[in-house]
Amino acid sequence: MKHMGSNTWAFAAGHIPLKSTGPEPENTSRDELCFLNTGPGEAQVDITLFYNDQDPVGPYQLKIPARRVRRIRINDLINPEAPPLDKDYGAIVESNLPILVQFDRKDTSQAENSILTTTGIPLQ
């Protein structure tokens, strides 16, 4: 299968809940970026995070192997800087090859969890 999707994706409504309920790490409140690389080449991905009170931080660099999915918790990004909890952020994802990206949130700040999802906004 060939590479599908877009080289650039945007997300405007990031926010990792501060609180979590239940055993870690499967019940940790989190924002996740879900990558799908349908093609034969490994994709080199740069994530840049935007905030409301400081300059953008990045790139967070990662690889999506050929013909694989990869799911990244924003909470788990470390280099160049761990993103803060309970703070609004946006994300731009740039890849050297076309990929697909979707955004998932699991909010476990209460006993009964809430979930949401949306596709990224593909750019050119």
Site residues, a second copy (CB under 8 A): 1, 4-5, 8, 10-15, 32, 34-38, 48, 50-53, 55-56, 67-71, 88-90, 92, 100-105, 107, 110-123
- Nearest approach in angstroms of CB 23 to a second copy is 13
Q: Which is nearer to a second copy, 54 or 82 (CB)?
A: 54
In the bound state with a second copy, the residue whose beta carbon lies nearer, of 82 and 116, is 116
Q: What is the secondary structure of 6-31 as a DSSP string?
A: EEEEEEEEEE--S---SSTTTT--EE
Of 34 and 85, nearer to a second copy (C-beta) is 34
Cβ-contact 92, 6 below 8 angstroms: no
Looking up tokens 């700040």 gives 109
Helix or strand holding residue 84 (H, E): none
CB of 68 or CB of 82, closer to a second copy:
68
d(CA 78, CA 92): 17
Q: Nearest approach, Cβ of 76 to a second copy (angstroms)? A: 14
Q: How far is the CB of 85 from a second copy (least distance, A)?
A: 13
For Cα atoms 17, 64, 78, give the angle at the middle one, nearest 5 degrees: 40
d(CA 103, CA 80): 21
Cβ 107 to a second copy shortest distance, Å = 6
